[in-house]
């Protein structure tokens, strides 16, 4: 049983890095639908394009999903239509092309042995090869996402009936993934062998919860237990938690996405064993040491630049002020129908406080510069408000390479830092100076820096498929036509 809500299809925003989604799973929790709702609400920052959940009463999986925010998709008495104590949930961003209602997760399907539902965070870089294989066998795909591959694997006669069916299917996948899987009587959770995407296990009452971030557990009163390990498959049922391995950590090592700490995760989360709040504060302190400047005030770009700006202010002794105020009631820019209206919407998000910046030398702190259009608007707004100088400080190294593992970084030519020096970027953006955190500075804030993927900075990726894609310059990831992308051997993006 399923019902769909709010089927508008938004266009995609183009000026900031976006992560695809967040996932949740619960087992043995009374009123699972309400618990999943609250957990997804805590993960809303990971995806604002669509949301969905599947809930089981032990016999039937029921689906509810739609376009929009969690509060827009799940309205009224939705929980009454989703009885049960077990389920999975998902919040979504698409990374390429136009959004489609059919791509909103979880995906629900009925196989020979009953109903299966999946939710996915990440990007399968070998999805084109696998999709082609199943289509040649006569399989019909209902979506344009890589996530649907797992459903076809689970229904594949080559895997069906085998004891290690899910493990064998997961072992075929290459790329980043955090999967939650629902069956009528249990849930599964799996994390890719490199550990690129985060996934955590917790205890709530007598039941269990799995979530992309620990902040979702706090939202529902759950106790964080541990991270799901890279290459681990967890099954949760009435016997408790069973851990299985489907792959070893590759010889190349871990590949945890460093942008989880820089940008994506909520500050009150623990990601990859570290407090996001503390990492961002340390990054800001290091940024102040590497790029000092004589100034009167440190101003963050809210919300992602706030903690780095606090760290910069503490280390430099320059006062911290909220020179920008965010308007939380402005409509999401990526649902506006045209590029012109989206550009206008970006200007409406933040308002300058003239009293803070007028006749001041401003240190403007942000997490990253991707295309350069947004930071230019912020600098212009500060100058119009009377700022004498604007010195931009970025709490990560220059983003010079695209990401193939689940972040919506554009092709190389569109990245403002590719092929440009900091002085050239400064001139393009209209700042008085620009300073990026160094790779060594970023590593100094991480407990195990060798466990992180920094391919967007270095061009060195964590798995062979990523290396192959980059070697051949196959970065045409703007199309939503899977067939066209497959024929040019591109990475299949969701």
Residues with catalytic roles: 21
Long-range (24+ apart) CB contacts under 8 A made by 427-432 are 428/372, 428/376, 429/369, 429/372, 429/375, 429/376, 429/379, 429/392, 430/376, 430/379, 430/380, 430/383, 430/390, 431/364, 431/375, 431/379, 431/390, 431/391, 431/392, 432/389, 432/390, 432/391
Nearest to 252 by CA among 450, 400, 458: 450
Nearest to 12 by CA among 480, 411, 485: 480
What gap in Å lies between CA 462 and CA 137, rounded to an integer? Answer: 31
**To 10 degrees, the CA torsion angle through 291, 288, 303, 9?**
30
What gap in Å lies between CA 306 and CA 320, rounded to an integer? Answer: 10
Nearest to 307 by CA among 279, 330, 271: 279
**Bond into 303 cis (ω within 30):** yes
What gap in Å lies between CA 22 and CA 6, rounded to an integer? Answer: 19
What gap in Å lies between CA 409 and CA 292, rounded to an integer? Answer: 29
Q: How many CB atoms lie within 10 A of CB 160?
A: 13
Distance between alpha carbon 185 and the CA centroid of its chain, in Å?
29
Distance between alpha carbon 268 and the CA centroid of its chain, in Å?
16
Residue with tokens 């009953």: 114
Distance between alpha carbon 252 and the CA centroid of its chain, in Å?
23
**Bond into 106 cis (ω within 30):** yes
Can you list the positions of beta strands (E) in 192-263?
Answer: 200-204, 207-211, 223-227, 232-237, 240-245, 256-257
What gap in Å lies between CA 309 and CA 356, rounded to an integer? Answer: 15
- Per DSSP, the three-state class of 385 is coil
What gap in Å lies between CA 297 and CA 359, rounded to an integer? Answer: 11
Can you list the positions of beta strands (E) in 317-451?
Answer: 324-326, 350-352, 361-366, 389-394, 433-436
């Amino acid at each position: 049983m399923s019902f769909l809500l709010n089927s508008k299809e938004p266009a995609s925003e183009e000026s900031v890095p976006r992560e695809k989604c967040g996932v949740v799973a619960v087992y043995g929790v009374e009123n699972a639908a309400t618990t999943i709702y609250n957990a997804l609400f805590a993960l809303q920052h990971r995806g604002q394009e669509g949301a969905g959940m599947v809930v089981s009463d032990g016999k039937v999986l029921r689906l509810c999903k739609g376009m929009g925010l969690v509060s827009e998709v799940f309205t009224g008495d939705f929980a009454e239509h989703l009885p049960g104590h077990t389920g999975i949930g998902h919040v979504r961003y698409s990374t390429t092309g136009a959004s489609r209602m059919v791509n909103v997760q979880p995906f629900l399907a009925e196989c020979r042995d009953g109903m299966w539902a999946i939710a996915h965070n990440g990007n399968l870089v070998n999805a084109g090869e696998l999709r082609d294989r199943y289509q040649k066998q006569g399989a019909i795909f209902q979506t344009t996402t890589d996530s649907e591959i797992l459903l076809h694997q689970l229904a594949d006669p080559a895997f069906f009936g085998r004891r290690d069916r899910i493990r064998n299917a997961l072992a075929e996948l290459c790329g980043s993934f955090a999967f939650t899987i629902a069956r009528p009587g249990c849930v599964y959770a799996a994390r890719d062998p490199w550990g690129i995407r985060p996934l955590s296990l917790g205890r709530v009452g007598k039941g269990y919860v799995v979530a992309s971030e620990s902040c979702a557990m706090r939202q529902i009163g759950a106790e964080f237990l541990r991270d799901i390990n890279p290459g681990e498959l967890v099954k949760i049922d009435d016997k408790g938690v069973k851990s299985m391995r489907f792959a070893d950590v590759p010889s190349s090592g871990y590949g945890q996405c460093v942008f989880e700490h820089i940008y994506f995760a909520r500050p009150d989360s623990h990601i990859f064993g570290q407090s996001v709040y503390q990492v961002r504060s340390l990054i800001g302190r290091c940024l102040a040491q590497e790029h000092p400047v004589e100034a009167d005030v440190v101003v963050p770009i809210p919300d992602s630049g706030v903690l780095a700006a606090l760290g910069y202010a503490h280390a430099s002794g320059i006062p911290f002020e909220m020179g920008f105020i965010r308007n939380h009631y402005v409509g999401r820019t990526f649902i506006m129908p045209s590029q012109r209206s989206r550009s206008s919407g970006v200007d409406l998000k933040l308002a300058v406080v003239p009293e803070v910046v007028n006749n001041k030398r401003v240190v403007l702190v942000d997490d990253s510069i991707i295309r350069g259009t947004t930071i230019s608007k912020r600098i212009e707004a500060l100058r119009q408000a009377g700022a004498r100088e604007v010195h931009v400080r970025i709490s990560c190294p220059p983003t010079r390479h695209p990401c193939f593992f689940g972040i919506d970084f554009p092709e190389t030519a569109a990245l403002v830092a590719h092929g440009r020096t900091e002085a050239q970027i400064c001139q393009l953006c209209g700042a008085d100076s620009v300073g990026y955190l160094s790779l060594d500075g970023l590593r100094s804030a991480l407990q195990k820096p060798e466990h992180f993927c920094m391919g967007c900075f270095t061009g060195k990726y964590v798995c062979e498929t990523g290396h192959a894609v980059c070697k051949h310059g196959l970065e045409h990831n703007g199309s939503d036509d899977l067939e066209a992308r497959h024929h040019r051997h591109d990475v299949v993006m969701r």
